[in-house]
């Protein structure tokens, strides 16, 4: 029996982030302590608005939200998410403007404050670009050893990268800010990497959407409306696909119960300057006795178990 996972969720709230937020809210083994927002799927202001809207729909405005970085460490942000997440980040699902507001604190500072106040208790789960986490670690390196865990949704070792970016073996989160990803990976924090090697094997199908929409609460219903847009985007870019992947929800699930995936310790780094490889995870799997693992990398997933858990959890808040 796993213990309750006290979680900070760092999001660039597009469609799969929204599902991850609702999953975390509904899961009985997760205590969501705070949400920090960043750019990625959408600009940071829109990600913050979407997050507040979801919390209001779920009746959970008690959870603090703090806006963080609006761009990568070294490059400006040019929004590229409309094709996948819609112009508003939620698949064009229109929601009332939130009546609640983000806390008057910068996202990385909220991460630092909470981790220092709860040493060894909090798991940080960034499911967008790693910029907020890198900024927090640069400002307060001591939080690396104070985290219970750091579960990153990013990277790929074997699976092809996302369509539409220059690097053929890179995911969007690491590609958006590889310098930040490298800082995080070299921080010494207890890292688990949940990347496309496993997330692309998790499936949200149209029948699952129907069931969650019919049985779930208001916030789950909103995410399933948005998921229709997400599924159509997947079908436009992947030939013959019948599902969309549950990237961010899987990372949240692994943070609470790592046994849903198979983890291999690896020494990994991120390419930051390659013309064709920027954002690509570079694993050193040589067994020479000199390589020191820097992360546990999820290399396989019990997809059937996780998909059943996802469905059960998403309807739990009804």
Q: In what order do the strands lie in the sheet with 30-37?
A: 65-67, 30-37, 5-11, 122-126, 149-153, 191-194, 295-301, 261-270, 281-284
Do the beta carbons of residue 296 and residue 265 sit within 8 Å?
Answer: yes
User: Within the chain, where are the H helices?
Assistant: 15-26, 44-58, 82-85, 107-117, 131-139, 143-146, 172-176, 178-185, 196-199, 206-215, 218-237, 247-256, 303-314
CB neighbour class for 121 (10 Å; exposed up to 12, middle 13-18, buried from 19):
middle
Between CA 54 and CA 232 the distance in angstroms is: 22
Do the beta carbons of residue 116 and residue 140 sit within 8 Å?
Answer: yes
Based on the residue annotation, tell me whether 247 is a catalytic residue of this protein: yes
Which residue of the set 27, 85, 159, 247 is catalytic? 247
Between CA 14 and CA 36 the distance in angstroms is: 14
Between CA 164 and CA 156 the distance in angstroms is: 16
Residue in this structure with the two tokens 């390419």, named with its chain if needed = 271
> Which residues are tagged catalytic?
247
């Amino acid at each position: 029996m796993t213990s309750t996972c006290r979680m900070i969720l760092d999001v660039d709230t597009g469609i799969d982030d929204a599902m991850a937020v609702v999953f975390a809210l509904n899961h009985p083994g997760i205590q969501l302590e705070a949400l920090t927002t960043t750019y990625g799927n959408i600009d940071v202001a829109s990600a913050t608005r979407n997050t507040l809207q979801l919390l209001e729909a779920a009746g959970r405005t008690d959870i603090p939200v703090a806006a963080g970085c609006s761009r990568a460490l070294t490059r400006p942000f040019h929004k590229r998410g409309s094709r996948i997440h819609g112009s508003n980040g939620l698949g064009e699902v229109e929601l009332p403007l939130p009546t609640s507001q983000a806390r008057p604190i910068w996202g990385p500072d909220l991460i630092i404050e909470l981790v220092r106040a709860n040493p060894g208790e909090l798991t940080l789960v960034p499911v967008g670009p790693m910029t907020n986490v890198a900024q927090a670690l640069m400002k307060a390196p001591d939080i690396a050893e104070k985290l219970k865990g750091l579960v990153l949704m990013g990277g790929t070792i074997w699976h092809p990268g996302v369509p539409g970016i220059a690097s053929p073996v890179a995911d969007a989160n690491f590609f958006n800010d590889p310098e930040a990803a490298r800082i995080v990976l070299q921080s010494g924090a207890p890292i688990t990497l949940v990347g496309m090697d496993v997330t692309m094997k998790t499936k949200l199908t149209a029948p699952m959407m129907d069931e969650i929409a019919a049985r779930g609460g208001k916030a789950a219903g909103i995410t399933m409306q948005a998921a229709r847009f997400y599924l159509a985007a997947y079908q436009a870019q992947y030939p013959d696909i019948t599902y969309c992947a549950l990237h961010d929800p899987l990372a949240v699930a692994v943070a609470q119960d790592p046994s849903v995936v198979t983890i291999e310790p690896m020494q990994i780094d991120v390419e930051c300057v390659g013309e064709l490889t920027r954002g690509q995870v570079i694993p050193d799997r040589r067994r020479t006795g000199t390589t020191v693992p820097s992360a546990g990398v999820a290399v396989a997933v019990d997809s059937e178990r996780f998909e059943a858990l996802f469905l059960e959890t998403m309807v739990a808040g009804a």
